[in-house]
Chain A
């Protein structure tokens, strides 16, 4: 019954702890409550760079690099603002709305276009010199195909090698594969299926043949790319400009996964993996013998097990023969951009210029093993690294340029943006249930295909009504052959 007494004491204690903590932390941060207007020291110009500290260790890396930059440019102070990957685009948008945007920021792929469409990105052409252009592989800065230009102007700079984000591999853990008697990397879908079954059977619940991360339906896409036009990623066959969710190549890819899932030759529970670390760990431990990988995943696996005996091979193709390639829509993917509202565009450009310098790219390559946009920064070294050589060889073998309606016309850009934004019409919505429930894909595909076609017609009208002419023609590239590299002048 003496509770009130105790209460008082413990409460006092807690108040004491709180007060002490506030005193310590508070003294330093109390002014942060209302916000002080902190100015850069002296007459330096402060450039804010908003980036994603990715991959592991990037946080430190960028700071070191910018320290070096500041040494060479004593009049500039670089302030780094880091954001979690998932929040970067939202963060950029909100900071613009707030009227305090970064001068330089990282916005990738769709994220770049989102910001660009709001008119917040500055064109860079006025700063570009011949020396700057000469750093990039020849012709790769052509406005029609660079991927960095919009409406003929340069708006963004790349970080990674163009093929880096497109090329995919089959990784084989040779030790694990040998358990099932598999000694060479499967070359066809059918071989892969058999190999996966054999390894799983011999693995006795410890080792499984195949797995992957479903995220963004990449797993099915990687197979589809070897069997048909890779533009079906977005549900469209760019040869005809029509919806192609019912294309046989997609059905075949989905069926392959359906069969493997039903036969339980894939690691149980693969469908619930949300983190790529899961795949890397299982593979490095030998619990998973094969998976389809993006280049960065090779580095991740190596980090976990540098001695791993693994084969890097091309993604298997259908036994009936190759029907398509991994499609590269542009020379590069957008990454670094400069704010149109920057008060110090000259200095901001210096930072941009540094981020596209050979030194920076070389340092990035050496730190993370990533092949970067400036080939000359790493080509010599990569040729003598077995993994990186394999990456380059397989990229040359399996990646081809394909038409890009986003770059080809304004109407195409608007249409593609509408189609990509419509979650309900993406085929991954029906492909995953078909695979997990062992149901036929065809009927659902035909159904969704009709809906997508109707949506395209409806959007073409709506977009035209708003003043940008858009039609099926913007999605049609009749001369494209998925087995040949596409040249934009073809159309």
Chain B
């Protein structure tokens, strides 16, 4: 029915099977023509490659270079210190603590936010639910709410002395003494929960998009077979959206690695560094206005170490995700 419209929500999955490009044998032999044949493609790639080299690759390489200097970010970097910054990063307890927190943020986003958002997306995807567009908008609002404002509102709401949530908990008799949500021991889970709240709308929209790809007739068929809700979810919905799920996973992972704004607005990495993440750690050394001299070289080293480890971890999961992605799209 929609074979030409390419993406119409009604497109079926089996159409997708082998991508149309890549004719199997020939191109190898036609070497001389390759460049000319692809000339336009390279022209189309050029702007991106140019910007990529200038604004991604070069700053990265430059940061690698700076990480070998004791440098405050102003003027030429002259004081070569070899691997001293790296040994300091690698032996810094604070760095690993921040590192662990960064990953916990991702873990929560992936293990809590993603499944929850999927469930809500399934509910909001139902055509029979009235006002679902309004619900979508409401659930999306936190995404666009200014982070600085979020920090202030939650500090007021969660206040152990007279804050709304504690009043509620106390009046219902759930707790005797107020819960200190932002104390040293509970600040991290609290900020994580707020991070989930703030990012939920995005993940929800991703899942809603994914659900659009499930053909209506598959649902019909499953209903005819007498499957109930959870069964349909397991045997119809999830297999179809799994490949998109992999992409959403990557997107969520990337977003959740950097909760800088929220942490800075809520706790400024405190109390006692309980909510420190790598981004705030780097910020403290590179841009903290209270420093006599910023340690930009050291901050670069911390960024490099973090980047390399993240990359390795992603690369390790790569084959697994790839398999999932391909399996789903088959």
Q: Let me know if A436 and B184 touch, CB within 8 A.
A: yes
Give the number of residues in A that approach B within 8 Å (Cβ atoms).
42
Chain B residues near A96 (CB-CB < 8 A): 74
Chain A CB within 10 Å, residue with most, of B73, B287, B290: B290
Q: Let me know if B183 and A271 touch, CB within 8 A.
A: yes
Q: Let me know if B10 and A1 touch, CB within 8 A.
A: yes
Closest B residue to A431 using CB positions: B272
Q: Let me know if A278 and B289 touch, CB within 8 A.
A: no
Cα A274 to Cα B263 with chains together (Å) = 11
Closest B residue to A428 using CB positions: B272
Q: Let me know if B180 and A90 touch, CB within 8 A.
A: no
Known: A421-B292, A421-B293. A272 touches B2 (CB 8 A): no
Partner of B291, one of A87, A110, A214, A424: A110
Closest B residue to A84 using CB positions: B289
Chain A residues near B155 (CB-CB < 8 A): 272, 275, 278
Q: Let me know if B9 and A1 touch, CB within 8 A.
A: yes
Q: For the side of the interface on B, what is the size category?
A: 35 or more
A248 at the interface (CB under 8 A from B): no
A260 → chain B closest CB, angstroms: 15
Q: Let me know if A206 and B74 touch, CB within 8 A.
A: no
Q: Let me know if A269 and B289 touch, CB within 8 A.
A: no
A206 → chain B closest CB, angstroms: 7
- Looking at chain A's contact residues, is the secondary structure mostly helix, strand, loop, or mixed? helix
Cα A334 to Cα B272 with chains together (Å) = 30
Known: A88-B289, A90-B289, A272-B182. A206 touches B2 (CB 8 A): no
A432 at the interface (CB under 8 A from B): yes
Q: Mark A398-411, 1 if CB is under 8 A from B, else 0.
A: 00000000000000
Q: Let me know if A432 and B289 touch, CB within 8 A.
A: no
Mark the stretch among B54-62, B106-114, B159-167 that contacts chain A: B159-167
A268 at the interface (CB under 8 A from B): yes
B5 at the interface (CB under 8 A from A): yes
Q: Let me know if A272 and B271 touch, CB within 8 A.
A: yes
Known: A268-B180, A271-B183, A421-B292. A3 touches B74 (CB 8 A): no
Partner of B161, one of A274, A275, A287, A432: A287
Q: Let me know if A268 and B178 touch, CB within 8 A.
A: yes
Cα A424 to Cα B94 with chains together (Å) = 9
Q: Mark A111-155, 1 if CB is under 8 A from B, else 0.
A: 101100110000000000000000000000000000000000000
Closest B residue to A211 using CB positions: B161
- Looking at chain B's contact residues, is the secondary structure mostly helix, strand, loop, or mixed? loop
Chain B residues near A88 (CB-CB < 8 A): 289
Known: A4-B5, A216-B290, A269-B180. A436 touches B162 (CB 8 A): no
Chain B residues near A93 (CB-CB < 8 A): 73-74
A97 at the interface (CB under 8 A from B): yes
B19 → chain A closest CB, angstroms: 23
Q: Let me know if B271 and A432 touch, CB within 8 A.
A: yes
Q: Name A424-447 residues within 8 Å CB distance of B.
A: 424, 432-433, 436-437
B70 → chain A closest CB, angstroms: 11
Q: Mark B176-189, 1 if CB is under 8 A from A, else 0.
A: 00101111100100
Chain B CB within 10 Å, residue with most, of A86, A269, A278, A282: A269
Cα A268 to Cα B158 with chains together (Å) = 11
Q: Mark B1-36, 1 if CB is under 8 A from A, else 0.
A: 110010011100000000000000000000000000
Chain B residues near A117 (CB-CB < 8 A): 293
Inter-chain pairs besides A85-B289, A111-B289, A274-B268, 18 sampled, C-beta below 8 Å: A1-B8, A1-B9, A3-B9, A4-B5, A4-B8, A113-B292, A206-B161, A206-B162, A216-B290, A269-B183, A272-B270, A274-B270, A278-B155, A417-B292, A421-B291, A433-B184, A433-B272, A437-B184
